[in-house]
Structure 1
């Protein structure tokens, strides 16, 4: 018995030693280390801030109901860009796509270089009227106060549109000649899926045979210290993929009648049971994207995290349990299921003839729309519940971190601030970039704004705002990216 005990202790000690050694040796420094650093451009920062504030004052709101679309606002936005950026509108070829989306072409001198595409969107989400009195400043006031620019679109995504225009206007003012052709593409309906804007733009490029060295859209940000677990530094996360989106409407039809003589299970009850079944059968966790991010950051993590993450042959169940215990981190490792809409009878004493629910799924890249539908059918396992799929698109492909676009972005972020770590990640929401995989394999998502939970809550919420310092640095980042990409281009 004593020998057995010693043997068990020996095996346990060996496991501990192996785990500790892997914790020390597994993760190597994968950060880019600059040989030199960037001197930021000098320009009239106050005028740039005022121009963003002016853009915010134009209520380019996207509505789910296309009948509510307000063309005057988007025409005003386009006119404002013409007025505020005269050099761009002299030098560029501007094309309107589907009347309201904009494409700018800045032709380069070397046709052997594949062009690059920089994207943003001009539309914003609406503001719930019941929240208006909770805003520090009116949502379309563009108020600048205490180092912040307030208003809907301040982060998502007029800051990207305006920062790109500021950066290119400055290049043209400096008299720089582009070798690589640069395109800007600004959609007008990203917040409702992008089918009338970005999708049409992508089709326009596809029809013209235009292929891109890389595409850069919104999506990633710089996380302030504490936002990335077990990492004490700021982390710039670059989106290399995004989840898919899918709605399934559950429908139960019955004869109806008076509530005094109900069937054993009403349509509403059957729908409720179906939802509970789905919520009790979540999709399995997948750590592949967590590992993709952590592999770039591991050498900067605390020792305990390195031990746990480098020994997933032993610790994977623990890692999954911890990540699944928080709704935000849980969404990063599995396809999510969210019942969002319910309807049945219009009166309390009338049995419903039709009961419905809408369940929204955000799809991991290793799942497909067909697989999700099949899984839902299997879990509900009730022929009385009919399924209707709508507003569905698969998850995007995963772009490599070895391509020119990612490398330029990584280098530029680090050359501005060597204390900011850089890592790839999967965007959990949707962006216009999803439409562009037919014209480029290298699609990335990033905007140069530092966020914490409070700032993130303003996006699509109350008090959306961007620090003026971040906006200025965003202009400087785009200016340098355009310089590296097109003025002194690296070969793709």
Structure 2
């Protein structure tokens, strides 16, 4: 599929944005500047040897998961899971016992018990529907490994059913793609983890390090009922930094500039929705003030949009290391771009890099905080002056910035307008300007999430994640990669948030990675969601190898 078509077909789903962003960026910058032929020797992005599992079983074969025998078995298992419509709805209550729509997850659990009987011996249920599997290791002094996924999928709009090539919960397989809601997001990783674990247990797997599988059931609505409770349970048992490493959904393996880039997400942007309300006196619209509160709130939004957050390549942002990896290992990257990235320590080159990134809509928010005024509410009758108008503005916080930076900015614009119109300002319960008879601005936020702690990009754990990836996505072991395609690992940043937000205290080593070919995940969160089957087989092989590489 051509890049332009991919970008055109992207859904609003946050989880796959990373690879698409980078594909768009590289397609853009590749033609910007003429090539230079002078070599430049650097070592910003060292790579590692493929890590082959040291598993002393005569029947271990890295090609096992690509056989037709295994593929047919796996397909049947995957289809069975997609057929169970484990949908998360925005209006679900926090108390999972209060809504019968949660009960569909019990149907999925019964299916797992039947399909994965050996793994199911280790399951316990957290907050009714969270799945927590603990396979105890022989050495309790070793920190456990946690593999995460989520059971839920986004809804299918009734009005869209006629647009699907195949019914969304039919799990149709056309010989190349498996179709259905959840096929890409993310019953792929859910089933791949369970299949890999079941295969190991069939081979009398007995780990030295404890293996934990943790599957929430409401990730699509922020995960507070599922991952929120699972994360607490794990923390209660193992304490702060009690986990060796966590793997959850995230970036994939993308074809870029003549190479395959294994993008391991080591950072997530923060998140906050700021609500600003303006309360004023009402009245009849035949005698309006010069500016109603709808007009003034609109002025506030205009101030925000006229003053966007500036681009900042802050310390720790993986965008630069990602491009340094491209510069060192992608053979078809434009040579002038290569030099710009590798000579970034020179002040002018850093400025150039920021300008390149800032000039591309799909990419610029990897180095700046985004803002989007998404909801505005005010007024109830066309001949009555509104007494309260509220706007909600969504932000994804840049690496190196904070919720406090955003709040400070809102307070500045609110106080400027308050002085202009003689209003008060109350921000998060604190009075900044005393309310007046004319009105008051009120600033608040229902939830805040700072940027995620940065995960290590060196050391033993990083080398195991990278080494496993370089083994599984090696042309010598993976039949779906051309022999002349270089494969390398690079750190990446994710502009959205995963269930790992509820696990930060458990470990700093959190990697958000889908071991799939990125271009194989099609239309997630929208009509005709599907996954190319080769990616599921590769995912299962990756989890199988990673479990062996980290727990034995």
**Global fold match (TM > 0.5):** yes
Q: SS at the partner of 1:371?
A: helix
Matched with 1:442 is: 509
Matched with 1:429 is: 496
Q: What is the CA–CA distance in structure 1 between the aligned matches of 2:168 and 2:529, rounded to whole Å?
A: 8
Q: What is the CA–CA distance in structure 2 between the aligned matches of 1:270 and 1:128, rounded to whole Å?
A: 36
Matched with 2:261 is: 235
- Answer whether contact 2:267 2:318 (CA < 8 A) is retained: no
Matched with 1:100 is: 129
* Residue of 23, 28, 32 corresponding to 2:48: 32
Q: SS at the partner of 1:108?
A: coil
Q: SS at the partner of 1:350?
A: coil
Matched with 1:303 is: 335
Task: Return closer, same or farther for 1:23/1:260 CA change in 2, 3 Å cut-off.
Answer: farther
Q: How many residues align?
A: 460
Q: What is the CA–CA distance in structure 1 between the aligned matches of 2:205 and 2:236, rounded to whole Å?
A: 30
Q: What is the CA–CA distance in structure 2 between the aligned matches of 1:30 and 1:318, rounded to whole Å?
A: 24
* Residue of 70, 73, 77 corresponding to 1:44: 70
- Answer whether contact 1:271 1:385 (CA < 8 A) is retained: no
- Correspondence list, 1:254-293, <5 A: 254-287=280-313, 288-293=317-322
Q: What is the CA–CA distance in structure 2 between the aligned matches of 1:29 and 1:424, rounded to whole Å?
A: 9
Task: Return closer, same or farther for 1:455/1:84 CA change in 2, 3 Å cut-off.
Answer: closer
Q: Indicate whether 1:346 and 2:346 are aligned.
A: no
Task: Return closer, same or farther for 1:35/1:339 CA change in 2, 3 Å cut-off.
Answer: closer
Matched with 1:386 is: 442
Task: Return closer, same or farther for 1:278/1:139 CA change in 2, 3 Å cut-off.
Answer: same
Q: What is the CA–CA distance in structure 1 between the aligned matches of 2:463 and 2:77, rounded to whole Å?
A: 31
Q: What is the CA–CA distance in structure 2 between the aligned matches of 1:366 and 1:69, rounded to whole Å?
A: 42
Deviations 1:355-406 (A, max 9, x none): 1111000112312222211122224432343212112111110011124332
Q: What is the CA–CA distance in structure 2 between the aligned matches of 1:219 and 1:209, rounded to whole Å?
A: 25
Q: SS at the partner of 1:304?
A: helix
- Answer whether contact 2:82 2:180 (CA < 8 A) is retained: yes
Q: What is the CA–CA distance in structure 2 between the aligned matches of 1:344 and 1:374, rounded to whole Å?
A: 25
Q: SS at the partner of 1:448?
A: strand
CA shift at 1:36, angstroms? 6.7
Q: What is the CA–CA distance in structure 2 between the aligned matches of 1:351 and 1:321, rounded to whole Å?
A: 45
- Correspondence list, 1:93-242, <5 A: 94-210=123-239, 211-225=242-256, 231-242=257-268
Q: SS at the partner of 1:144?
A: coil
More moved, 156-165 vs 59-68: 59-68
Deviations 1:323-368 (A, max 9, x none): 2233320121111101111111233333211111110001123122
CA shift at 1:322, angstroms? 2.6
CA shift at 1:97, angstroms? 0.8
CA shift at 1:114, angstroms? 1.4
Task: Return closer, same or farther for 1:244/1:152 CA change in 2, 3 Å cut-off.
Answer: same
- Correspondence list, 1:389-468, <5 A: 389-418=445-474, 419-452=486-519, 455=521, 458-468=523-533
CA shift at 1:289, angstroms? 2.5
Q: Indicate whether 1:71 and 2:102 are aligned.
A: yes
Q: SS at the partner of 2:531?
A: strand
Task: Return closer, same or farther for 1:274/1:23 CA change in 2, 3 Å cut-off.
Answer: farther
Q: What is the CA–CA distance in structure 2 between the aligned matches of 1:158 and 1:49, rounded to whole Å?
A: 12
CA shift at 1:238, angstroms? 0.7
Q: SS at the partner of 1:285?
A: coil
CA shift at 1:116, angstroms? 0.5
Q: Indicate whether 1:85 and 2:116 are aligned.
A: yes
Task: Return closer, same or farther for 1:22/1:402 CA change in 2, 3 Å cut-off.
Answer: farther
CA shift at 1:35, angstroms? 8.0
